Structure 1
Amino acid sequence: MANSINLLLMLKLVLTVLVVAFSPLCLCRKTNGGGYLYPQFYDRSCPRAQEIVNSIVAKAVAKEARMAASLIRLHFHDCFVKGCDASILLDSSGTLMSEKRSNPNRNSARGFEVIDQIKSALEKECPQTVSCADVLALAARDSTVLSGGPSWVVPLGRRDSKGASLSGSNNNIPAPNNTFQTILTKFKLQGLDIVDLVALSGSHTIGNARCTSFRQRLYNQSAGNDFTLDQYYASQLRTRCPRSGGDQNLLNLDYVSPANFDNSYFKNLLSFKGLLSSDQILVTKNQVSLDLVKKYAANNHLFFDQFAESMVKMANIFPLTGFSKGEIRKNCRKINVG
């Protein structure tokens, strides 16, 4: 009897997918993995899903503006490792080694409690229906909007992985001290191009960076200080980031409007006031990226449009889709048992 019910539910879901996919109004996205994501995925199974996500994210950002950048970063760090499958949310257990322990995430990745709150509310509303991977995608969009940035329609239907990759997290995510070519290569390996690189770097218009992420620009250059950094700005940074100690001290990535999602980040780069080396090299190491920085600095609407487009493209990196791949976790920190 139970098997018959499960079969009927599966057939009903397949029919819904086919109806939506072939609708002329469907904003379906074929993913790198070959499956389909579409915005209407939860319209019948959990119609209040997006409302629930937005409500909890709004409360979290109202309580702490920095949380918006943290949730966007979680989505980015998830998608660059094994695809957009919520692997970053898994805690270590048994033989599974959490990506939270990687160099890019340790002592810096945050927002997990907000995702827990969202998942708990969704499980009450519609048990084992909305994936943690989709929660990350929606939370990143809502965080952007709540900070004054652009909105976009989020294609949905991702499933959650049953594993994580600590090595992938260490190797795939761009680092603050990577060369321009290394960062571009890491983007290209995910199916993203130089336009996506520059536009998505614009998320650094909000949020903070730890002293340990940019100290080398202030003190440890082989030929003295980093002269791609405005020297008056550098002297201000040294007051908060000493030569030793204070590794966890936080400074705004965008010193002009740190809580507002806008194009001042790009204007800062043109004034040689990008905080991270990985920011400033967008204007010092490549003509194409420099031209894009100039365009976005001059036109906020252009930046917003491209950022939204690149976020949708990033969220399409090898998601798990269909019935045979992954699962819908009950708890985003743990793989389902049984």
Structure 2
Amino acid sequence: MAATMISLSSNFHIVGFYTQLCPSAEIAVRRAVNEAVSSNPSVAAGLIRMYFHDCFVMGCDASIILKSLPGNPPVEMEHPANNTSLRGFKVIDESKARIEALCPGTVSCADILAFAARDGSYEVGRIYYDVPAGGRDGHVSLGEEVSQNLPQSSFGAQQLAQTFARKGMSVDEMATLSGAHSIGVSHCSSFVNRLYSFNATHTQDPSLDPNCASFLKTRCPSPPSGAGGDLTTTVPLDMVTPNRLDNKYYSELKHHRGLLTSDQTLIDRSLTSRMVSKNGRNGAGWARKFARAVVHMGSIDVLTGAQGEIRRICSVPN
């Protein structure tokens, strides 16, 4: 039986979308990711984070990659939640250039980002999953949408759950995807209040392990009065296996060494504490759930068929 051909305008978001259209697409992305991560393991965390930030703001449409144009409002990548914390854009650009040389105008930047996040997960955590493809690229990126859609480092468990619920994702998926903080770094500004100005009763967050707090103070000095904290110095989100995507993150939470309030709240609140304990005990089980949750996240407001476009250059609309 002859293979079924899928046109670029097909209203599908399926595994194997490019099997006939561009058979080497996923291979090209994988090679670009492997080369980048072998030189700098932190790129993997950047790609996973970029994919999450893209999908949660205006859907999985590669709007996170669009650069600002003169006279237009600020774009997503210029928002403070993105402009100092995201990395991996060069990997996406390199992947796109290689694919355009093979299959011009065929593979969306949205799908390239989805493949890259998967391949980054595999490189640093041996977590592999099939990626549904056939998504298309958005025309618009609005920085003002970021704060309204992304969870913040100061959020408690209930606020995190509500943020994910608005995207159609469960509390367990939220706790599972939080495990991505097993890799990557955070700027001092995201947690320095826990060290020096927590609240009116405690200058230091009592939920933070004192030894961990003492170490963090050596990396993140107290900011001047009225300042928001160091925007350049970074600290690993997981100090045990900072370049390995694994379930050690959950063990650290149990020992009160979660770097961000949004991390530590997962073990300190009954809504998610059992999930944290279970993920900490079963690394293989967590990895399988992580893969399923990422695939589910990748379906948020995907553009298909005649929606959107296939950008020739990922950073600008056609």
**TM tier, shorter chain?**
over 0.9
Q: Deviations over 1:256-282 (max 9, x none)?
A: 111111110000000000111100000
Change (3 A) 1:104 1:246: closer
Report what 1:72 is aligned to: 48
CA deviation after TM superposition for structure 1 residue 180, in Å? 2.2
Q: Within 5 A, what are the aligned runs for 1:2-81?
A: 13-14=6-7, 36-81=12-57
CA deviation after TM superposition for structure 1 residue 230, in Å? 0.3
Residue 288 of structure 1: SS of its match in structure 2? coil
Whether 1:267 aligns to 2:246 is no
Task: State the alpha-carbon separation in 2 of the partners of residues 190 and 335 from structure 1.
Answer: 25
Change (3 A) 1:90 1:194: same
Task: State the alpha-carbon separation in 1 of the partners of residues 123 and 315 from structure 2.
Answer: 26
CA deviation after TM superposition for structure 1 residue 247, in Å? 2.8
**Pick aligned residue for 1:169 from 125, 146, 149:** 146
Structure 2: 5+ residue runs without aligned partners? 224-228
CA deviation after TM superposition for structure 1 residue 16, in Å? 10
Task: State the alpha-carbon separation in 1 of the partners of residues 267 and 129 from structure 2.
Answer: 28
Report what 2:290 is aligned to: 307
Structure 1: 5+ residue runs without aligned partners? 1-10, 18-34
Count of residues in Structure 1 that have an aligned counterpart in Structure 2:
307
Code of the residue aligned with 2:159 in structure 1: it is: T
**Pick aligned residue for 1:131 from 108, 125, 138:** 108
Any conservation in 2 of the 1:241–1:247 contact (CA below 8 Å)? no
Residue 37 of structure 1: SS of its match in structure 2? coil
Code of the residue aligned with 1:248 in structure 2: it is: T
Q: Deviations over 1:162-208 (max 9, x none)?
A: 00121211211111012322221110111111011000000011111
Residue 209 of structure 1: SS of its match in structure 2? strand
Task: State the alpha-carbon separation in 1 of the partners of residues 85 and 100 from structure 2.
Answer: 28
Q: Within 5 A, what are the aligned runs for 1:323-334?
A: 324-334=306-316
TM-score, normalised by the number of residues in structure 2: 0.93
Residue 83 of structure 2: SS of its match in structure 1? coil
Report what 2:74 is aligned to: 97
Any conservation in 1 of the 2:99–2:107 contact (CA below 8 Å)? yes
**Pick aligned residue for 1:316 from 275, 296, 299:** 299
Task: State the alpha-carbon separation in 2 of the partners of residues 96 and 84 from structure 1.
Answer: 20
Task: State the alpha-carbon separation in 1 of the partners of residues 249 and 6 from structure 2.
Answer: 44
CA deviation after TM superposition for structure 1 residue 254, in Å? 0.6
Task: State the alpha-carbon separation in 2 of the partners of residues 106 and 55 from structure 1.
Answer: 26
**Pick aligned residue for 1:229 from 208, 212, 215:** 208
Report what 2:226 is aligned to: none
Task: State the alpha-carbon separation in 2 of the partners of residues 16 and 183 from structure 1.
Answer: 36
Any conservation in 2 of the 1:160–1:327 contact (CA below 8 Å)? yes
Q: Within 5 A, what are the aligned runs for 1:114-125?
A: 114-125=91-102
Task: State the alpha-carbon separation in 1 of the partners of residues 233 and 194 from structure 2.
Answer: 15
Task: State the alpha-carbon separation in 2 of the partners of residues 136 and 74 from structure 1.
Answer: 8
Any conservation in 2 of the 1:149–1:262 contact (CA below 8 Å)? no
